[in-house]
Amino acid sequence: MSVLRGELGVAEAARQHDVNESLIHSWKAQFLEAGRARLAGDRPNQGMSLLERENDRLKRMVAEKELELDIARKVRRL
């Protein structure tokens, strides 16, 4: 943020964070573009909602498979 406010130069920020100056420029550009997009009405959280639903679906699948394995192990012991 200090680079965006002009309080710190890119070179100094890069030294402080031990990264290449081009990375600072890239981060700055990405941050500014995301801000412009959000102000224009883009809703990036909609994609996250899809990922959250997929994550929930996969968690349920794993839980079902764990239950199936647990039942199979118990049956083998009989």
- Alpha helices (runs of H) in the chain, residue ranges in sequence order: 10-17, 21-39, 45-77
24 burial (CB, 10 Å; 0-12 / 13-18 / 19+) is: buried
Nearest to 17 by CA among 37, 31, 3, 36: 3
Domain coordinates of the chain in residue numbers? 1-42, 45-78
pLDDT in tens, 5-42: 889 899 999 999 899 999 989 998 988 888 888 888 77
**Would you state the pLDDT for residue 69?**
93
Rounded Cα distance, 56 and 61, in Å: 9
